[in-house]
Amino acid sequence: MLEEEKKHIKQAQGGNQESFGIIYGHYVPQIYRFVFFKVSVKQVAEDLTHEIFLSAWQNIKNYKQKQFPISSWLYQIARNKVIDHYRTDKKNISIDTEDFAEETLGFKEQDNLDIPFAINKVKSLIKLLKPEYQEVLIMRYVEDLDHKEIAGALDKSEGAIRLIQHRAINILKELYEKHRGSN
């Protein structure tokens, strides 16, 4: 996809809708997942994902391919949108906190998602981690991004990303064992 992607990016920068559609189709699932892990509410995740790609379409001319991959650029937009969402919408914070508490304690299954109970369990455990650790785990293991891409998205060095990943996975393992033992 790399060479093809470069071509599509260039065409999208020139206003080609079809090319942007291809980029959108390729990246929307992972950006949606990233946002969903952050906000925990399907409707909010959909709205924010829409805003992220709208922003990407409107500003794609400002994206420079030489700096970092487009995935990193999209994650940067996503992170900013999520931060803005929590800054401006206090109501959503309280709802998310409630959802988070329920999931953490009882591993409550989401009604609006058709995913198995075990996945919800892992998702709940990930939410116990620091936001930065969550982001690295999601990008690395869910989205299969390489360290360079993650470093670009989080504006950190590759070494720092490796370290965060190592710590995050260890903490998650501990949490998993602890919860498995208690159940």
Partner 1 sequence: MKNIEEAIKQLKRIEPSQEYKAHSLRLILSSPQNIGNGFSVRFFEILKFGAALSLTGLLIVISVSDSFSKFNARLLSPVLLASLDEEKITKEAGQVDIKITIAEAKYYNDSTKKVAIALNETAKNGPGHLNSAILEKEIGGLDMNGGENGENIDELLNKLTM
Binding residues (CB under 8 A) for partner 1: these are: 13, 15, 17, 20-21, 24-25, 28-29, 32-33, 36-37, 45-46, 49-50, 53-54, 57-62, 113, 115-116, 118-119, 121-123, 126, 137-138, 141-143, 169, 172-173, 176
Give the count of beta carbons closer than 10 Å to the beta carbon of residue 26: 15
Triad 149, 35, 19: Cα angle to 5°: 60
Q: Which is nearer to partner 1, 21 or 94 (CB)?
A: 21
Minimum CB–partner distance for residue 160 and partner 1 (Å) = 20
Report in angstroms how near the CB of residue 176 gets to partner 1 at its nearest. Answer: 5
Q: How far is CA 174 from CA 80, 105, 117, 171, in A?
A: 30, 16, 19, 5
Nearer to partner 1, 25 or 90 (CB): 25
Pick between residue 15 and residue 159 the one whose CB is nearest to partner 1. Answer: 15
Q: How many CB atoms lie within 10 A of CB 22?
A: 18
Query: Distance between CA 164 and CA 140 in Å, rounded?
Result: 11
Residue 16, φ and ψ in degrees, nearest 5 = -75, 115
Least separation in angstroms between CB 17 and partner 1: 5
CB of 87 to partner 1, least distance (A): 23
- Please give the Cα distance from 157 to 104 (Å, whole number): 31
CB of 98 to partner 1, least distance (A): 20
Q: Among residues 49 and 71, whose Cβ is nearest to partner 1?
A: 49
